[in-house]
Chain A
Amino acid sequence: MLGYLSYFILIPMVYIAFATLIFGLIYKFYIIWKAPAPAGTGAIFPKKGSKVSGLIYDAMLVPMAYTKQKGFWFIIMFFHIAFFFLFLGHLELIADFKFIQIIPHRIFLGGGLVGIILMLATLYFLFRRFGTPYREISIPEDFVILLVLFFCILFGSILHLAERYSDWGAVLRVDANVYRNWLQSLIWFKPQLSYTITELSHFTILVLHVLFANIFLMMFPFSKMIHSVFTFLAHYRKRN
């Protein structure tokens, strides 16, 4: 039973998650594109910088968060930059990318620090919600997303840190090619789960990591995570 469940999580559910993410995003944009555009603008003055540079500045550097709560801003920035590094790290699990290897490194830049930063930031976001006034405005979705993200990063970090630093590294050490074979088989729609994966000593951790990642990806278009793309639309209107 557990074998079937693991297989489902590592193969069909990954497809379901990515399909949900991609078609979900397309659907969300389609709904917005189809909706009527208002006649006027939503400008706020002064409009500092050009439309494009200002938009990037507002959406990526969130200057108003810096103005309001500097400490919070630093955590947001660390969190999002770490997320970007995590994305690059996962790209390297699929194939070699020369542009990522400008600084030669073992797979996953940062030697585990990226995951730790993300975990700490996620925990901060989570516990921040238990304090006033954030508790009053939080809804279950806010807590669930943070928990899903936290567990996803936790299991991912265990995989990475154990492999890199454990005394039992000889047992746990995994060649990136093991993951590459599995991930590339998914990309080319010839999915296979070889014994090199299923026999890993930390296979259960891998399954849990992928399970939470799948859930996160499926929730992405239909939850507040959509802020990462819609913020550009909102800031554009503010500068239009």
Chain B
Amino acid sequence: MEREKVLELKQVIGKKLNRPMLYYLDLCTRCGLCYDTCHVYQGIPKKEYSPVGRAEVVRRVFRKYFKPAGKFFPWWGDAHEFDENLMEELREAAFSCTGCRRCTMFCPFGIDMPYILGIAKELLIAYGNAPEELVMLADSAVEKGKSIDMFKEGFRGVIKDLEQEVQKLIGASSSDGLIPMDKKGANILFVGLSGAHSIIYPAAIFNAAKEDWTLSYFEAVNFGYFAGDSEKSNFIANRIINEAKALGVKEIVIVECGTAYRIPKFLMGPLPFKVSSIVEVIYRYIKEGRIKIKQGIVSEPVTWHDPCQLGRNGGIYEQPREILQIMANDYREMNPNCEYNWCCGGGGGLVALDNEEFRIKSGKPKKEQIEKSGATMVVTACENCHLQLSTISQGYNMGVKVESLTKLVGENLII
């Protein structure tokens, strides 16, 4: 590799060396306790898909360029310089990880392996080897953020059509104003996705609860984060944060998207408003008696899949279970669940990539969990999980129905 490129890549690593990164890179003893905690390794038992195997690829270059021993005695720490093979290994490591952090939970030292892979992703961007799909989607989100005024009129037109769908769901006399936009001082700024379903059902719930809310012009998903581009990731997140600040809302509510929830909630530092998931808001409305849902409407055996970013990385465990248990006649738990839950394999932007065969294989532990539960319907609250669970169901001919919690609630409101 050319010297200039190596220097550039070294600088990329240097920029990522913040406090946690420094101790995460240093403290692994390679005890191997994380080895089989990854769903990908369970499906494809190769060292490259073990958490420690992935992190070691990053550590090898880190040692080479940032440790005296790596420079002078590379054999000591298996230090390795940048080359084509190593870049390929970095890509394999970074984009086979969903960032579910199951390995972090099992690590006896608390090392955040996906955090380390942030270096790999940033290196791939600098090298021009990051997945094109994610980079393009991130670029398009950034572009939308820069010139939002151009998009506003067209978006309002689309929303007008969606209001009629909401009207049908809640039986309102008119569709006007069912999806408010640009509403200053509203209690809630709701951030959806590009799909209509991500707006219609939450809108029905907000209207049923008589909430003072407004819809964001932006989609919640952060492809900059999935691609591993810190700059774009911050820009994409800040579009929503700035919109919320400009409107003066008290709370932003994130659609069923785990990463979109985790970023403003836990990764952006203190914000002048509350950040909630739509799941928490539905739960709140039910508890406050603001909405009522049909009891026992789901007759088939149903189970809940904890999206990693809502559960293990977000602390939302009980709320969706309680909501689902109201609607379900035969609710079943998967085992293991909650913080020990197996990732479905769709997070980290992996569902946006052309890797279906890989995802079916890596979804093996989830498939086995669902089968053992005996459920014929899996409910979740994350778009990536929803897509991946459907892929698993089809890939293994399971015939399991996958549903979104918000959709189930939205369809079964008692008005």
CB closest chain-B residue, reference A42: B112
With A36-B19, A137-B52 known to touch, is A230 a contact of B30 (CB < 8 Å)?
no
Binds B, one of A190-198, A210-218, A232-240: A232-240
CB closest chain-A residue, reference B47: A136
Contact with A along B40-67 (1 / 0, CB 8 A): 0000000100101100100000000001
With A64-B33, A133-B35, A133-B47 known to touch, is A226 a contact of B78 (CB < 8 Å)?
no
**Interface residues on chain B, size class:** 35 or more
A163 proximal to B (CB < 8 A) = no
Complex: A134 Cα to B56 Cα, angstroms: 13
A1 proximal to B (CB < 8 A) = no
Tell me how far the C-beta of A130 lies from the nearest C-beta in chain B, rounded to whole angstroms.
12
With A68-B33, A133-B35, A137-B30 known to touch, is A230 a contact of B23 (CB < 8 Å)?
yes
- Are B110 and A237 closer than 8 Å at their CB atoms? yes
- Are A222 and B69 closer than 8 Å at their CB atoms? yes
Contacts of B20 in A (CB 8 A): 38, 42, 233-234, 237
Residue of A33, A39, A235 touching B109 (CB-CB under 8 A): A235
| Interface positions of B from 60 to 108, Cβ below 8 Å from A | 67, 69, 75-78, 101, 104-108
Residue of B18, B19, B26, B50 touching A137 (CB-CB under 8 A): B50
Complex: A231 Cα to B30 Cα, angstroms: 14
Residue of A35, A72, A140 touching B22 (CB-CB under 8 A): A35
A43 proximal to B (CB < 8 A) = yes
| Interface positions of A from 142 to 199, Cβ below 8 Å from B | 142, 144
Contacts of B76 in A (CB 8 A): 139-141, 144
Tell me how far the C-beta of A36 lies from the nearest C-beta in chain B, rounded to whole angstroms.
5
- Are A136 and B53 closer than 8 Å at their CB atoms? yes
Contact with A along B1-28 (1 / 0, CB 8 A): 0000000000000000111111110111
Contact with A along B243-256 (1 / 0, CB 8 A): 00000000000000
CB closest chain-A residue, reference B17: A35
A52 proximal to B (CB < 8 A) = no
**Most chain A CB within a 10 A radius of its CB, from B20, B23, B105:** B23
- Are A41 and B266 closer than 8 Å at their CB atoms? yes
CB closest chain-A residue, reference B340: A67
A69 proximal to B (CB < 8 A) = yes
Size of the A side of the interface (Cβ < 8 Å), in residues, is 48
- Are B50 and A233 closer than 8 Å at their CB atoms? no
A113 proximal to B (CB < 8 A) = no
- Are B29 and A227 closer than 8 Å at their CB atoms? yes
**Most chain A CB within a 10 A radius of its CB, from B27, B67, B76, B314:** B27
A92 proximal to B (CB < 8 A) = no
A2 proximal to B (CB < 8 A) = no
Contacts of A235 in B (CB 8 A): 109-110
| Interface positions of A from 46 to 93, Cβ below 8 Å from B | 46-47, 58-59, 62, 64-65, 67-69, 72, 76
Contacts of A76 in B (CB 8 A): 108
Contact with A along B109-137 (1 / 0, CB 8 A): 11110010000000000000000000000
Complex: A144 Cα to B75 Cα, angstroms: 12
Complex: A46 Cα to B317 Cα, angstroms: 9
- Are B106 and A224 closer than 8 Å at their CB atoms? no
With A32-B22, A68-B33 known to touch, is A45 a contact of B312 (CB < 8 Å)?
yes
**Most chain B CB within a 10 A radius of its CB, from A28, A35, A222:** A35
A3 proximal to B (CB < 8 A) = no
- Are A42 and B106 closer than 8 Å at their CB atoms? no
A104 proximal to B (CB < 8 A) = no
With A137-B47, A234-B24 known to touch, is A37 a contact of B19 (CB < 8 Å)?
yes
Complex: A50 Cα to B171 Cα, angstroms: 48
Tell me how far the C-beta of A161 lies from the nearest C-beta in chain B, rounded to whole angstroms.
29
CB closest chain-B residue, reference A34: B19
**Most chain A CB within a 10 A radius of its CB, from B30, B107, B110, B267:** B110
B315 proximal to A (CB < 8 A) = yes
- Are A65 and B27 closer than 8 Å at their CB atoms? no
Complex: A138 Cα to B50 Cα, angstroms: 13
Tell me how far the C-beta of A59 lies from the nearest C-beta in chain B, rounded to whole angstroms.
8
Tell me how far the C-beta of A31 lies from the nearest C-beta in chain B, rounded to whole angstroms.
6
**Most chain A CB within a 10 A radius of its CB, from B107, B311, B314:** B107
Complex: A144 Cα to B101 Cα, angstroms: 31
With A36-B19, A46-B315, A64-B108 known to touch, is A234 a contact of B27 (CB < 8 Å)?
yes
**Most chain B CB within a 10 A radius of its CB, from A33, A38, A138:** A38
| Interface positions of A from 101 to 149, Cβ below 8 Å from B | 133-134, 136-142, 144
- Are A44 and B312 closer than 8 Å at their CB atoms? yes
Complex: A142 Cα to B59 Cα, angstroms: 14
With A139-B78, A224-B29 known to touch, is A32 a contact of B47 (CB < 8 Å)?
no
Tell me how far the C-beta of B88 lies from the nearest C-beta in chain A, rounded to whole angstroms.
18
B269 proximal to A (CB < 8 A) = yes
- Are A133 and B50 closer than 8 Å at their CB atoms? yes
- Are A36 and B26 closer than 8 Å at their CB atoms? no
Complex: A39 Cα to B19 Cα, angstroms: 11
Complex: A40 Cα to B77 Cα, angstroms: 31
Contacts of B31 in A (CB 8 A): 65, 72
Residue of A32, A45, A68, A234 touching B111 (CB-CB under 8 A): A234
- Are B111 and A140 closer than 8 Å at their CB atoms? no
B177 proximal to A (CB < 8 A) = no
CB closest chain-B residue, reference A33: B19
Interface residues of A (CB under 8 A from B): 28, 31-33, 35-47, 58-59, 62, 64-65, 67-69, 72, 76, 133-134, 136-142, 144, 222, 224, 226-227, 230-231, 233-235, 237-238
Extra inter-chain contacts (5) besides given A38-B18, A45-B339, A230-B26, CB under 8 Å: A35-B19, A137-B32, A137-B47, A226-B27, A237-B110
A-B contact pairs, 8 of them (CB 8 A): A31-B22, A41-B267, A45-B313, A46-B339, A64-B107, A141-B77, A230-B26, A235-B109
Interface residues of B (CB under 8 A from A): 17-24, 26-33, 35, 37, 47, 50, 52-53, 56, 67, 69, 75-78, 101, 104-112, 115, 266-269, 311-315, 317, 338-339
